[in-house]
């Protein structure tokens, strides 16, 4: 691919001096960036990026200053307030600022706070959505986040709050009953507590679960387990965050949809994992 590959013809917005584009970088694979993100990477004077943004993506902005503003695992290495005000300062200096965040900036990414601060300080912003790990990461594992035979709704949950603790404000009873599929971000640290709450609320111990680590990257690892065994299986596996936990029968679809395994020459484990007994194309 050439660096000078033109974007398709269109009336593309331009990252202008003094602006901040708050942009999702997707879950990892650079191919999951949007064209708006590429456009901004090429134009930016400065890219302020998070821990979960793959370094390879920054190679597309060789002309820009790269500023790391990562926070990992509840240990704030850069305070949110400082990051937001840094963005205000950079824009006020007349820089073209690309604020690049993992996944989608408005999904458990504090993008709302950053955008609000910028707007409160009179800085013009554009929001560029990205592919969230809880959707795109599962897709790379061969798990459809909705599947007609399984779920009519899906709940996205965060496994801990700003303090790094399980959000006590969460009503796990309601979450457990609310939808057939739960997609949990930042759940590794408190997986025992989370699984325990869901079991207590009546979700079956045999319910299929998946843990998708470093999804869409070269290090992607997937653990298939059940709700009852998930915490012990994670501990035994040595898997590390970042990971998405998926609770629900859609995980079974991986037995047929693990397209990465198929591409590597493996056969589907089960062509009809939900036991529909009829072809998928039939209503």
Question: Binding to ligand SAH by residue 211, rule CB under 6 A?
Answer: no
Find out whether 127 and 111 touch, Cβ atoms under 8 Å: yes
First to last CA, the chain: 42
Of 33, 40, 52, 191, the residue at the interface with ligand SAH (CB under 6 A) is: 52
Question: Binding to ligand SAH by residue 252, rule CB under 6 A?
Answer: no
DSSP H or E segment with residue 87: helix 80-92
Burial class for 153, CB neighbours closer than 10 Å (0-12, 13-18, 19+)? exposed
Q: What is the pairing mode between strands 154-158 and 181-185?
A: parallel
Closest CA to 251 of 146, 176, 153, 174: 146
Question: Binding to ligand SAH by residue 244, rule CB under 6 A?
Answer: yes
Question: Binding to ligand SAH by residue 103, rule CB under 6 A?
Answer: yes
Q: Which is nearer to ligand SAH, 167 or 268 (CB)?
A: 167
Interacting positions 174-203 with ligand SAH (CB under 6 A): 185-186
Find out whether 91 and 142 touch, Cβ atoms under 8 Å: no
In the shown chain, the binding pattern of residues 140 to 169 toward ligand SAH, with x for contact by CB under 6 A and - for none, equals ------------------------------
Return the range that interacts with ligand SAH (CB under 6 A); candidates 61-69, 106-114, 166-174, 264-272: 106-114
Q: Which is nearer to ligand SAH, 117 or 216 (CB)?
A: 216
Question: Binding to ligand SAH by residue 54, rule CB under 6 A?
Answer: no
Question: Binding to ligand SAH by residue 30, rule CB under 6 A?
Answer: no
Find out whether 137 and 128 touch, Cβ atoms under 8 Å: no
Closest CA to 48 of 74, 12, 82: 82
Smallest distance from ligand SAH to CB 84, Å: 16
Closest CA to 216 of 24, 42, 48: 24
Question: Binding to ligand SAH by residue 40, rule CB under 6 A?
Answer: no
Contacting positions for ligand SAH (CB under 6 A): 27-28, 52, 101-104, 107-109, 132-133, 137, 185-186, 212-217, 241-244
């Amino acid at each position: 691919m050439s660096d000078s590959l033109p974007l398709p013809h269109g009336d593309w917005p331009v990252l202008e001096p003094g602006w901040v584009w708050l942009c999702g970088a997707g879950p990892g694979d650079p191919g999951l960036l949007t064209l708006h993100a590429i456009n901004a990477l090429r134009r930016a004077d400065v890219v302020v990026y998070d821990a979960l943004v793959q370094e390879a993506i920054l190679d597309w902005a060789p002309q820009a200053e790269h500023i790391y503003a990562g926070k990992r695992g509840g240990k704030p290495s850069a305070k949110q307030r400082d990051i937001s005000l840094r963005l205000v300062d950079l824009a006020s200096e007349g820089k073209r600022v690309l604020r690049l965040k993992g996944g989608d900036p408005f999904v458990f990414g504090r993008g709302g706070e950053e955008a609000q601060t910028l707007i409160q300080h009179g800085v013009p912003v554009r929001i560029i959505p990205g592919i969230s790990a809880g959707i795109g990461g599962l897709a790379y594992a061969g798990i459809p986040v909705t599947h007609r035979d399984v779920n009519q709704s899906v709940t996205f949950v965060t496994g801990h709050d700003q303090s790094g603790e399980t959000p006590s404000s969460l009503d796990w009873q309601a979450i457990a009953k609310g939808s057939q599929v739960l997609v949990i971000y930042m759940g590794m640290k408190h997986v025992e507590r989370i699984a325990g709450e869901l079991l207590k609320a009546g979700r079956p111990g045999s319910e299929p679960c998946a843990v998708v680590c470093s999804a869409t990257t070269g290090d992607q690892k997937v653990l298939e387990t059940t709700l009852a065994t998930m915490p012990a299986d994670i501990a035994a596996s040595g898997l590390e965050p970042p990971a998405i936990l998926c609770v629900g029968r859609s995980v079974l679809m991986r037995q047929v949809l693990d397209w990465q395994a198929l591409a590597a020459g493996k056969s589907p484990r089960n062509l009809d994992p939900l036991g529909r007994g009829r072809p998928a194309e039939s209503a």
